[in-house]
Structures are given as structure tokens and as C-alpha cells.
Amino acid sequence: MHLNHGGTDKSRKGARLQLGLAAALCGTALLLTACGGSSNSSGGTVTPPTICTPAADEVQPWLNTAYTPACRAQFLLDSISSVEDKVALALALGTNAGSETGAEGTAAKQLLATYGLSAYTRKDGPAGVADGSGHGTAFPSPVTVAASFDTTLAASYGAAIGQEFHDLGYGMVYGPAMDILRTWHFGRAAEGYGEDPFLAASMARPIVDGMQSQNVVAVIKHFAAYTQEAGRSGEDGKPSFTSTYAYTGNDVIVSRRALHEIYFPPFKAAVQSGGAGGVMASFPKINGEWAAENPYTLGVLKTTWDFDGFAIPDYPSYFHPVQCVSAGMDAKINAAFPIGTQDSLVQALYEGTLSEERVNDMIRRQLMPIWRVGLDANPPTEGGPAVTANRAVAVEAITKGAVLLKNAGVLPMSATQTVAVIGAQAGNDANTATLQARVNTNLYGAAYVRPVNLVTPFTAIQAKAGANATYSSGTLGVGALSTPFEVMSHSWTPAGVLMVDDATGLSLDSSLKLTTDLEGVTPGLTATYYNSPDLSGSVLGTQTEYAINFSDNSGIGIPLPYSGLAGDHQWSVAWSGYLNPQSTGTYRFTARVRARTVTTSACGATRTPW
């Protein structure tokens, strides 16, 4: 598949986006002048400061906030004699304190503690603390803020998000997302600041500055030219933890002019004007090189723009440890992924394919933003803000970002008007109002924050119109099955929308029985798999299943539901079986799939191509 990108080189021919995506772990290098030092433009590394002398009696001078971040980093590096210890520290600094609780994460935290350092919890947060914890604010989407054209509002928005991250125990924000909205089909559309590079760049500085004013590090994403989610994990469907690439994923073919005029401006502004502490690489290749190993894009970031922070891959864009670090990747994103990374880097040091200064640079870049924003001096708390603390900011954002296309005398609303509000999404059964919203909402993934105190459209209109406001759902709504027929799941855990006991075939509340035969003897459904996206071609195989599983998360290592499937959503499945109600009543069923067709026969057999 090819998509035209805007912007051209001298040939004036539109560049192409060639899809066949990949994930990689690589990074960026940084340029910084501190304590009299200068940047190394040839290598993209931070030149060590020229004059940094600690007091003679200081045991760990890098913990003294009176020194500049550059000097503190140099003090720490001067105290470490072996390259093995430096590699271990460089990798440990990327530990996510909240999620890495296994043996490797524990060891990393213990290592950091020997230097008086801490691991910090990181979380997605383009529009607030992702997923929600029952204490944060579900802010309006970032594109709403962009629609306000108000940089002062953007600063308040960023500061409010940063404050909630800090007060809920998080030290780093994976956000804001600076992806240019190239098409409305883009899966990250709700996370970014629209299609205009100038507008997005104008929002970048105040957003980042606001976040980091709250003593948290902003990690902007996804660098760069990331405009398509579909196929990002490649056709092979298995991440590689070896020296061999496993993906044949998307390759964004785009001119350098288009990069600089369209896709780079928001990142450049966030780095140079906003002082962003981190940058997260995107998944695919860019002009034939993985985004996390791309020497051109990472060279621009670290050398041309004088970026003084760290670069990390997105989850799970990880491939070659040595190539990634050499290109400029400074940290890992998850302890479970870089299998053998430490040994590989140490071996490369002894073989001369990786320099000790590059490892030093990894350490500098990870520590300096933490110290620059005051995260170490003002560590995150865990008490949590009141859920109403930033409601005013959220209301201001949605108000200023809204666009009134026509007013035929209806507004401003008064209690003398009669108002009919129709639609399931306007009432208490709105999709986002349910606990199942995490797996059903359109704003899905990194930017989703579960609403805690949701004010529905009808409630708000009723507050203005009073008793003259009436409501009707109009339809049964777009939500999935009510509990207990829907099983809650994480976004990349297979979701059993219909799940039954494998011994009895009964649903969780025993009100339904699902069987492969009309007589109701054999529990489950018969699943028939095809290596095509539309149920065409020969049958790959069949098996009995006890949950309808619409997930293809092979790109992050979760096995596909049947052996031999192509992965990357290039397969389909037809389920057939019988639902037998165990009591008389009204039963509601919905299908939430990426299907081309969904047909359900009167006797209950369901055919749903993936």
C-alpha cells in the first residue's frame, strides 16, 4: 500500500508511504553545553563539562543540587571505573518503578540505590493519566486544545496533566504526542494536535513547559512521521529478541523536505523551546531504517537541534541493542524486552564497535532531564489530587476548543425552552460512562482516561433547561454486552466478549449456554481459521473455543489463537455455534469487531471475518 506524503524534494514528486511496518528499539543522542563544555556535533553526544570540581569531603557529589546537571552527571561518571558497571547503570536508569517488579526490575532498583538514585514510575499521558486510577481528570483530547488556538490554555492544560501525574506517583509522562494528523483513519488521531505543523508546533512549547513545571519529565512521541497504526507490527507477527530482524513492517517513504516542513516542526519546538526531557521513537522504518535506529532522524534530533535529553523506543519497538545504542537510543522501555542487551553492549565495547563515551552519554542524557526539572528534589507523591481539582481547566479546554457551526436561536439555552435529547451516548448509558469503556471507547489506548465523575450531555442540558428537557436513548446503544457477558481486559490481552465455562458451556451468570451443536451437548464454538482477511481461500484449520477473541496482538509477542496464522490482521475466523437461553427474557448482543461483514443467522450461528 502506498500513500502520498505532502512536501517534496527538488524533483517535486510526492513522496510515498510504503506500508509494511516494523518495531525497533533505538534512540537518540544529545547535544548540551554545560559548565563550560561544548556540544560534539559530529557524534551527537554531550561533551563533558570542562570544569567540575566537587568539594573534597563530598561522598556522592552528584546528589548535590547546587551543582549543574552536567557537572552532577560528570561526578557520577568519574566515580565508576568499569565499563560493565556503566552499562548496567545506563540500563537500570530506564527502569519503570511501577511496572517492573520482577527480578530484573528489582535488581535495577537496587543498583540505582547504591548510587543514591531512584527509579521512577512512567505512564502514558497525552490527555491525562492513562486508564485512570479513580483520582485523575479525563481531560478533553489534545486536538480540542489545538482547536482553541490558545497557547495560554495549552500551558494550563500541560501543567494540570503534569500536576496529576506528580500527585498520583508518576515521574515521567509518555506524552504529549506530536504526531501530525495525516488522515482521520490514524489510530492516534485523538492523541495529537491536528494536521497543521505550525499549529502543532505552537502548542508543543506551552504543553511541554507546563508539564515539566510540575517536576515531571515529558517524553514526546512518536518520532517521526508516524501516521499509521495499521500494520505497525509487521506481517511476521513475532518480535525479535535476537540479532535477526523478524518484522517486514511498514516503511515510511518520505522526502527530507516533507520531514522538515511537516513532521519535524512539533518535535523541534518541543525540544528547542519547550525543553522536553525525552523523545520516544515511532515503530516503523523511515526511508528504509527503523525509526529507533535511524541515523538521519536521530542525527537531526541530537546534533542539529541540540537535544539534551534521552531517547527511548516505543513498546515494543526493540531489535538490535548495539545498533540502537550506536544510533542514539539511550534507554530501554521495559525490562522484559532487552534480553541479552547488557552482555551485547559490553561485548561491543570490548570489540570496539561501541564507544565508552556513547555509554557515558546514555547516562548523562537520562539523568540530566531528571535533575533539570527537579524530579529528584521533588519526587512524586501518591496521595492523589481530588477528582475535581482540574475540572475548571478541562471545562475551559472543551469550551474554547468547541466550534459552533450554526445557531438558529437555540443558544443561549434557557429554562423556558423545550429540549429533546436523543441518543444513547447522551445519557447515563454512554459508552465512556461504563467500566467497560477501557475496551470499548473510541478514544482507545495511550490517551484514554477512565471518567470518574462523568457529566453526560443530557445532565448538562437539563441543568440549563430544567424540567423542559427530556431524554430518549433512541436505540439500544453502541456498547458491548453488559456484564457478565463482557469480560474486562487490558488493551492487548485477548478479550472474551462471549466467554463460557469450558466444561458446562454456561456463561458467568449461568443465564446462557453456548454449544457447538443444536442439541446443547458440546460446550463452546467451532472456530474455522483462514489465512486471508475475508474468509476466502482454503481452511487453515478448526478448533473448539470458549470465548470469541477478536484480538491480534502478535506484534507484541502474544500468541495468535491458531497455529500457522499469518499475523498482522491478515487472517479471518468464522465462529459457529448455538446460544441457548436458560430462562425466558430479553437478551442484548452486540458485535465490536474490525470486520468487513458480520452476519448472524436466526439459529444463532455467527460468521465474523477479522
490-529 pLDDT tens trace: 332 333 346 778 888 887 767 788 899 998 899 999 999 9
Burial class (CB in 10 A: 0-12, 13-18, 19+), 459: middle
pLDDT on residue 2: 33
Reported pTM:
0.74
Preceding amide of 561 cis, omega within 30: no
Contacts of 284 (CB under 8 A, 6+ apart): 21, 22, 23, 226, 228, 232, 249, 250, 251, 252, 290, 291
Q: DSSP per residue over 495-541, as a string?
A: PEEEE--TTT-B-TTSSEEEESSTTS-SBSEEEEEESSTTS-SSEEE
Grid cell at residue 316: 515494543
Grid cell at residue 422: 436523543
Q: What is the mean pLDDT of the chain?
A: 78
240-261 mean pLDDT: 70
> Which of 305, 281, 304, 302 is closest to 293 using CA atoms?
281
pLDDT on residue 249: 66
| C-alpha distances in Å from residue 411, one per residue of 40, 399, 404, 415, 471 | 60, 14, 10, 12, 19
Out of 130-134, 196-200, 246-250, 377-381, pick the least confident: 246-250
Grid cell at residue 421: 435529547
Contact, 557 vs 238, CB < 8 A? yes
382-386 mean pLDDT: 66
Confidence at 449, pLDDT banded by 50, 70, 90:
confident
* φ/ψ (deg, to 5) at 583: -155, 160
Contact, 236 vs 567, CB < 8 A? yes
Burial class (CB in 10 A: 0-12, 13-18, 19+), 387: middle
Residue 595: pLDDT above 70? no
| C-alpha distances in Å from residue 257, one per residue of 88, 254, 352, 548 | 39, 8, 35, 46
pLDDT on residue 438: 38
pLDDT on residue 478: 55
Rounded-to-integer distance, Cα 504 and Cα 514, Å: 9
Residue 172: pLDDT above 80? yes
Confidence at 543, pLDDT banded by 50, 70, 90:
very high
Confidence at 563, pLDDT banded by 50, 70, 90:
confident
Contact, 30 vs 357, CB < 8 A? no
| C-alpha distances in Å from residue 419, one per residue of 116, 262, 330, 399, 442 | 62, 44, 57, 21, 27
pLDDT on residue 314: 85
Number of helical (H) and strand (E) elements in the chain, helices listed first: 15, 21
Out of 10-24, 232-246, 289-303, pick the least confident: 10-24
Contact, 14 vs 8, CB < 8 A? yes
Rounded-to-integer distance, Cα 211 and Cα 221, Å: 14
453-467 mean pLDDT: 85
pLDDT on residue 554: 59
> Rg for the chain (alpha carbons), in Å?
26
Confidence at 342, pLDDT banded by 50, 70, 90:
confident
Q: What is the pLDDT of residues 265-294, one digit of tens each?
A: 999 999 999 999 999 999 888 998 888 889
Residue 244: pLDDT above 50? no
Q: What is the DSSP letter of 120?
A: B
* φ/ψ (deg, to 5) at 324: -65, -50
Q: ∠ CA 21-92-219 to the nearest 5 degrees? A: 50
C-alpha 305: how far from its chain's center? 24
216-239 mean pLDDT: 76
Pairing outcome for strands 547-549 and 310-312: unpaired
Residue 236: pLDDT above 50? no
Residue 551: pLDDT above 90? no
Residue 18: pLDDT above 80? no
pLDDT on residue 25: 29
Residues in the chain: 610
pLDDT on residue 21: 25
